Amino acid sequence: MCTTCGCGGGEARLDGQPHSHAHPEPGPLRPGRRRVSLEQSLLAKNDALAAENRRAFAARGILALNLVSSPGSGKTTLLEQTILGLQGRVPLVVIEGDQQTSQDADRIRAAGAPAVQINTGKGCHLDAHMVGHALASLAPPEGAVLMIENVGNLVCPAAFDLGEAHKVVILSVTEGEDKPLKYPDMFAAADLMLLNKVDLLPHLRFDVDRCLAFARRVNPSIQILLVSAQSGEGLAAWLEWIEAGRNRALAARATAQV
């Protein structure tokens, strides 16, 4: 289960093969202190595994990004365009998280990047154990960018550290400008917000300034880029942001090795 919705009763699958889920199987819960203790224990275990992932990334100069959004935000299409834009410049690998199917991983491979699919079953988010298990199969090269496309959900992924350098929240203009206020934990946890599908703005009643103000009310330090995977608007700035992060990861590794 996770800390809010009780998900995770099923078995996660890595590229169609079952593996044990990181979440413990709790017995019947009594109200009060026992629930709090279980949630704290679960997150503590996840955080310890996330720290292991983070050390592994740092040792290899890997920039890991956790892409989070609601379903239909366009993050897979944006990821496809990111792969195409970075080809020949940056090695990029992908972990795909969905409750069922391998459709997104198939799309990512067709775009030219190695990908591993994690099917979470009833689970509504990835956790650090799943990511660590996928890494063993994916074996990203040194200096790679690892994109983790989380399960479409603006609630539970906010609480689960995967070992990433940054959470990147993707919000589409078709969702409504009030999403940062409705799901504040996710926007507070993110370092970057991509406002996607801006090519559709002429056809929608969406107040961009209001949306950005809401995001900054929740997280005053959040960076924001306006992008469109269809028209290409803002993609150059997004790719530059990724490359700058990768350069920092490589520089930190070099410093640690001195």
Domain ranges across the chain: 13-20+29-257
Q: Which pLDDT value is given to residue 155?
A: 94
Helices (H), 112-195: 128-138, 179-182, 184-189
Q: Which pLDDT value is given to residue 10?
A: 53
Lowest mean pLDDT among 50-64, 124-138, 237-251: 124-138
Q: Contact at 8 Å (CB) between 67 and 97?
A: no
Q: Which residues contact 180 (CB under 8 A, 6 or more apart)?
A: 171, 187, 193, 211, 214, 215, 217, 218, 219
Output Rg (C-alpha) for the chain, integer angstroms: 18
Which contiguous run of DSSP H or E holds residue 24? none
Give per-residue pLDDT as tens, 208-256: 999 999 999 999 999 999 999 999 999 999 999 999 999 999 999 999 8
Give per-residue pLDDT as tens, 157-203: 999 999 999 999 999 999 999 999 999 999 999 999 999 999 999 99
Q: Which pLDDT value is given to residue 252?
A: 94
Q: Contact at 8 Å (CB) between 113 and 83?
A: yes
237 vs 248: CA distance, rounded Å: 17
13-20+29-257 in CATH: which number?
3.40.50.300
Residue 43's CB: how many other CB atoms inside 10 A? 17
The total number of residues shown for the chain amounts to 258
Which contiguous run of DSSP H or E holds residue 69? strand 63-69
Tokens of 116: 């591993």
Q: Which pLDDT value is given to residue 226?
A: 98
Residue 170's CB: how many other CB atoms inside 10 A? 25
29 vs 51: CA distance, rounded Å: 29
Q: Contact at 8 Å (CB) between 140 and 93?
A: yes
